[in-house]
Every structure is written in C-alpha cells, then in structure tokens.
C-alpha cells in the first residue's frame, strides 16, 4: 500500500494492522537498502510502537490521524535517543538529547518512525553525493542520483518502504529529489512549520515538509507538523497572512524568460503538455515577467553560505561531535573541523566567511538582502494578477551518479526552487510526466508557487490536478 489514506482505511477496517505495515516496511528496507543506501539507521523499536497502535485499532474509538503509519525522517531532525548525523563525519556518533517539535507532533499523531534517511552532508547538495556515508541510488534507475539534499527520504518513499518521509528544504532539497523520484514534495510558507530541532543550515530559508505519493497525504502530514511553536519565534499564526479564497479555476503565471536557458528540451515539452492540461480543465495560463528571479541563484549563494558559516561555527570538537587531537584549543578547533567536514561544507563555510567579512559585507550580504526584498515586492505585484506561479521543478530529470562535475552546473539544479526559499512563499511539486533516458521513463515534476500563507490553495489545486488523475 503506497498511501497513508489506503493504510488508514485498512487499519480502521482491521484488514491490515500497523504491526504488519511496519514489518512489511522493515522487510522492504532489509531487501533493498543494501543496494540503494536510502536509510542510514533503521529503528528496531518501531515494532513495539506498532504493537501498541495495533491494539488501539482493535479497541476502536477516536484515533489520531497517523496512528500506525510508518514514517522515515531525514538524518538532520532531532529524535531523542537516536543517532542524528546530518550525514557528516563530525556528527557520526551524535545522539539527539531532545525531540524536534515536528517529531513530537508526528509521534503524538501516532506516526511510527522506522528509520532515518541519507542526505547530502548538512543538507548541502542536490544529489546525496555529498553524504559522508555514501551516495543514495535512485530506486527508479540505480545508475542515477535520487536528487538532494533529501535524497534518502525521496528514495525511501520511491522504493516503497514508507508512504511518507520527512525532508528539509533550504533551496529545493525537498522539491528537487521529489521531482527526480516521481513524488509529491512540499515546502511550506516560511514559519508555517517549527524549525526547533532541525540541524540548522540557513535559518532564514529552512523549512521541513513531507514527501509522499499523493497531495492529500502531503496535506495531512503537513497539517500535523504545522503551527505556532513557542520554541521557534519565527513560526506564524493562522492569521499572520491573509486567507486566500478558494476558486474553481485559477490563473497561472509562467515566467517564460526565466526558462530560456539551461532547461532540458524534453522537460520543457512535458511542461508545455502540463499547461495544455491546465487549459483543458478551464484554468487560465499567462506569461509573466519576474526579472529579479533570475538573480535568485546568485543571491542564494550569498545568503545561504553566510548563514551556514554562522550556524556551523558551533561544531568545534569541544561540546559534542568529532574531536581531533591538538596541542592547544585552537588546533583542536582547526583539526576537528578539517577532519570532520566534507569538501562542500568547507567550501560553503569559507564562502560565507568571505561574504560576511569586513569590507565585503555591504557589497555581498547587504546586496543579497536587497535582492530578496525586491524579489518579495516583485512577487507581491505579480500575485495581484495571477494566483499561482508555474515552473518546472528542476531543469533536468535525475542525472547519473558522478555526472555533474562542475560546481555551478550542480548549483543551477536549484534555479527554480531557490527563489521560493528566498521569498518565503510556499511551493508544491508533483510529477507532470516522464522523459525517456536510455529506455527508462524518468519522472519530472512541476512546481506550483502560491503567495505567503497560500498553503491550503496549493493542496486544494494539487489534489484536483494530480490526485484525481492518479
């Protein structure tokens, strides 16, 4: 069973139990994970939680919405008593001392955590090739990457082990792997979901969200995780942004100029077909101008490394994590960080140190924040005339492991997704079709972007356009 709603119905009908679901989930992991490397840890105590859930279904009554549902979580989310590494050598033996708010909420809703998934180190990457614990392979074609940084979470769902995995998205890390693995991926409005207990990467950009097989499942899991949290002062209230009315038909805007360069022709063709589908269903699709969005990737590679260099200063080999021998305190810092961090993490810390350093701060960080501000007002204007922005999720289908050697071409994977994080708006991706590579049909995703607080609109239109056609 691939969806939460199917599992829930079977649990309630007592034709299938959480114990069976978790056993089946663990069987699939045991069978496939050796090859795919989607999971870094599998939790044996899942069976005990499943037994409790099974007895609750047998008793009946008012049962929480995710009771008995097997869930996988990314390796950068605090889960008390469990190893949480961010796929970095520097946290290889770190055990979480508290629960993230989203973990607490999922557990309260009855979810059962069956394991934690591989990722690019500290969520920095678009392929999971930056994991300190080996690449994850795409279950649809094992010569290809699953995308990243939440590549292990995407593979966990795509391999059939779980109906939902939790990822985090700083510049596209939920949406791009969802696109590569044929899934629904959701990046909420900034502040909709608490960041308490996520290993921080870019604090003004990070959000956690679900990766699922249907939009309805993504909505259900998002709603469980979302809401004000006294442990995260950036979480928003239901009335922080104006409530958007639901419509029967929407006006979609396509930033054509933005898609002229670097998008695979087959992806573009699939995208055009999606536009035809929307028109056939009575929606209006128009071209829009978002000139500043083209600067998004450049602004992102200033803001994100700046926040990375600050957030990762805490890994110093003193209080927790990997610690190297040194003659004095400074050497302990320098050697622990040299030996504990991988190449991409070092690169971004140094880049962030550069853009924040005296004499460069205004030229880089100040300008990047200015671009963000201008992008937000550009968006506000565009959303006066349209309801939803439409782009491909990623410019290509899943690429081959080891294929992307050039840094900037790897970074350009996120060209359509980073403007969403920079401006804080919500976005959903789901499959819009496939493109054929070497005889294999590889899925490609479409991205819908709504105004701030427009989460419900994305779920509502997503269910109509995707779920109803499954």
What does the binding site for other proteins look like in residue numbers (CB under 8 A)?
Answer: 94-95, 97-98, 190-191, 204, 230, 233-237, 240-241, 295, 298-299, 301-302, 309, 313, 316-323, 326-335, 337-338, 341, 343, 346-347, 349-351, 353-355, 357, 362-364, 366-374, 407-408, 424, 452
Is residue 25 part of the annotated active site? The answer reads: no
Tell me which of 25, 126, 131, 149 is the catalytic residue: 149
Tokens found for residue 404: 């992307």
Catalytic residue among 32, 74, 137, 187: 74
Q: Which residues share a beta bridge with 115?
A: 42, 72
- In 3D space, the residue among 327, 345, 346, 324 whose CA is nearest the CA of residue 336 turns out to be 324
Buried b / exposed e over 435-449, threshold 16 CB at 10 Å, is bebeeeebbbbbbbb
Q: Is 55 known to be catalytic?
A: no
Q: Is 149 in the active site?
A: yes
Asked if residues 73 and 209 have their Cβ atoms less than 8 Å apart, the reply is: no
Closer to other proteins by Cβ: residue 325 or 438? 325
Tokens read off for 232 = 């995260």
| CA-closest candidate to residue 398, choices 432, 428, 436, 343 | 436
DSSP states of 304-325: HHHHHHHHGGG-SSSSSS----
Q: Residue 254 CB, nearest distance to other proteins (Å)?
A: 23
Q: Min. distance of Cβ 382 from other proteins in angstroms? A: 18
* CB closer to other proteins out of 106 and 368: 368
CB of residue 96 to other proteins, shortest distance in Å: 9
Contact 430, 184 (CB under 8 A): yes
Candidates 131, 150, 173, 194; catalytic one: 173
Q: Report the nearest approach of other proteins to the CB of residue 249 (Å).
A: 29
CB 302 within 8 A of CB 365: yes
Backbone angles phi, psi at 259, to 5 degrees: -105, 10
Q: Which is nearer to other proteins, 203 or 281 (CB)?
A: 203
Q: How far is the CB of 259 from other proteins (least distance, A)?
A: 18
If the CB atoms of residues 397 and 424 are measured against other proteins, the closer one turns out to be 424
Token pair for 61: 């009554």
Judged by beta carbon, residue 137 or residue 372, the one nearer other proteins is 372
SS3 (DSSP) at 415: coil
Q: Kindly list the catalytic residues.
A: 74, 149, 173
């Amino acid at each position: 069973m691939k969806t939460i709603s199917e599992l829930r119905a079977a649990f309630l009908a007592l034709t299938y139990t959480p114990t069976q679901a978790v056993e089946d989930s663990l069987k699939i992991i045991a069978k496939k994970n050796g090859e795919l490397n989607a999971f870094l840890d599998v939790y044996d105590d899942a069976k005990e939680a499943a037994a409790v859930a099974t007895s609750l279904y047998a008793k009946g009554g008012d049962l929480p919405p995710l009771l008995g549902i097997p869930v996988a979580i990314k390796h950068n989310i605090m889960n008390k008593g469990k190893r949480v590494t961010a796929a970095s050598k520097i946290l290889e033996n770190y055990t979480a001392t508290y629960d993230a708010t989203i973990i607490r909420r999922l557990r309260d809703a009855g979810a059962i955590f069956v394991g934690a998934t591989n990722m690019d180190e500290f969520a920095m990457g678009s392929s999971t090739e930056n994991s300190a614990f080996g690449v994850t392979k795409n279950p649809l074609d094992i010569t290809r990457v699953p995308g990243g940084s939440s590549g292990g979470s995407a593979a966990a769902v795509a391999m059939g082990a779980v109906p939902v995995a939790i990822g985090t998205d700083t510049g596209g890390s939920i949406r791009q792997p969802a696109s590569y693995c044929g899934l629904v991926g959701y990046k909420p409005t900034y502040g909709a979901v608490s960041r308490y207990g996520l290993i921080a990467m870019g604090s003004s950009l990070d959000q956690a969200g679900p990766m699922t097989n249907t939009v309805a499942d993504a909505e259900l899991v998002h709603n469980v995780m979302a809401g004000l949290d006294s442990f995260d002062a950036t979480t928003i209230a239901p009335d922080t942004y104006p409530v958007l009315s639901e419509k029967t038909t929407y006006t979609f805007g396509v930033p054509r100029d933005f898609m002229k360069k670097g998008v695979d022709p087959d992806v573009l063709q699939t995208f055009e077909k999606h536009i035809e589908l929307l028109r056939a269903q009575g929606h209006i699709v128009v071209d829009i101008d978002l000139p500043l969005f083209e600067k998004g990737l450049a602004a992102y590679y200033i803001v994100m490394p700046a926040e990375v260099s600050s957030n990762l200063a805490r890994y110093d080999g003193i209080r927790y994590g990997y610690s190297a021998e040194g003659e004095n305190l400074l050497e302990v810092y320098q050697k622990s960080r040299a030996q504990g961090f991988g190449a991409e993490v070092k690169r971004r810390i140094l880049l962030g140190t550069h853009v924040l350093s005296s004499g460069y701060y205004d030229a880089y960080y100040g300008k990047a924040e200015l671009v963000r501000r201008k992008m937000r007002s550009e968006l506000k204007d565009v959303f006066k005339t349209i309801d939803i922005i439409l782009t491909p999720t990623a410019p290509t289908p899943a690429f081959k492991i080891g294929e992307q050697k050039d840094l900037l071409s790897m970074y350009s994977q996120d060209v359509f997704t980073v403007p969403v994080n920079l401006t804080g708006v919500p976005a959903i991706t789901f499959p819009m079709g496939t493109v054929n590579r070497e005889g294999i049909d590889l899925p490609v995703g479409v991205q819908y972007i709504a105004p701030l607080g427009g989460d419900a609109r994305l779920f509502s239109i997503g269910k109509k356009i995707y779920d109803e056609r499954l």
